[in-house]
Amino acid sequence: MSSVPVHEDFDLDAYCARIGYAGVRQPTLAVLEALHFAHATRIPFENLDVLLKRPIRLDLASLQAKLVRGGRGGYCFEHNLLLLAALEALGFAVTPLAARVRYRTERLLPRTHMLLRVALDGRDWLADVGFGGEGLLRPVAMDGEPSAQFAWSYRVAEASPGLRVLQSQRGEAWEDLYAFTPEPQLRVDYEVASWYVSTHPESRFVQTLTAQLPSPERRLVLRGRELVEDRGGEAVASRTLADEAEVLAMLAERFGLRLPPGTRLEPGG
């Protein structure tokens, strides 16, 4: 059972409509994979509320108002708490975990990433729809078996007893994305971590706008005004957007984000 209680008012129908999922609703591997894929490719990873100085609320009512009915995305805690509610509503056995990000850093970072462990048919699966452009499209088995996901491949490696690392393959090398241990997390743990990443002056989310959306064909990433399209084996295409107006248009057109008229981004965006 999850250590994070699910709100009884979770609207599974609205969630499935938001991500375009119309399949069966049973706790099977096929459903887990389909739901994970639909969520990851329909709801963007983004930090706009941080830059707009709006609080990040992790209660389920707020998550549904923002990500489901509001046409917005969010970062890891928002995404994976929403997925957690959906999976538990379908009868999956889910344990929320926390990780230290290793991607693009050599520093030891605090546990500021959320992921889920799903126990199913005698195997554990890592589910995570909140890691952005480098993240998973489908769950990955936690026993080390590689998972090919279109142009990208992932695996969960054991770094030491009790410590596992999600890795992605680039060429012949495996690159660490984040490291995690098996201790279940409580909602208050995520509240503290979310407060840190949304307010600490050294947090990357406070410093720079980011919007990210993966798909089978490409990973679309916007950081500040730099737009990157990663197609896996192909060269990464990049261009710089001209101004805030083009950034806002890009967020609407390519990421599908609905922002109120008159939205102005902070200088860091």
Name the pLDDT band for 32 (thresholds 50, 70, 90).
very high
Interval 41-49 mean pLDDT: 97
C-alpha closest to that of 179 among 73, 95, 94, 107: 107
Name the pLDDT band for 233 (thresholds 50, 70, 90).
confident
Given a cut of 60, whether residue 267 has pLDDT beyond it is no
pLDDT in tens, 67-118: 999 999 999 999 999 999 999 999 999 999 999 999 887 788 899 999 999 9
Minimum mean pLDDT among 56-60, 113-117, 148-152, 232-236: which range? 232-236
C-alpha closest to that of 2 among 74, 130, 88: 88
- Report the chain's mean pLDDT, rounded to a whole number: 93
Cα 125 to chain centroid, rounded: 16
Neighbours of 102 (CB within 10 A): 20
Active site amino acids: 76, 113, 128
Residue 139 · residue 131 · CB < 8 Å: no
What pLDDT, on a 0 to 100 scale, did the predictor assign at position 108? Answer: 87
Give percent of the chain above pLDDT 90: 84
pLDDT in tens, 135-193: 999 999 999 999 999 999 999 999 999 999 999 998 889 999 999 999 999 999 999 99
Greater model confidence, 250 or 236: 250
In this prediction the pTM is 0.94
What pLDDT, on a 0 to 100 scale, did the predictor assign at position 111? Answer: 96
- Max distance between CA atoms of the chain, in angstroms, equals 52
Name the pLDDT band for 3 (thresholds 50, 70, 90).
very low
Give percent of the chain above pLDDT 70: 95
What pLDDT, on a 0 to 100 scale, did the predictor assign at position 203? Answer: 93
C-alpha closest to that of 23 among 96, 86, 94: 86
Residue 258 in tokens = 């609905």
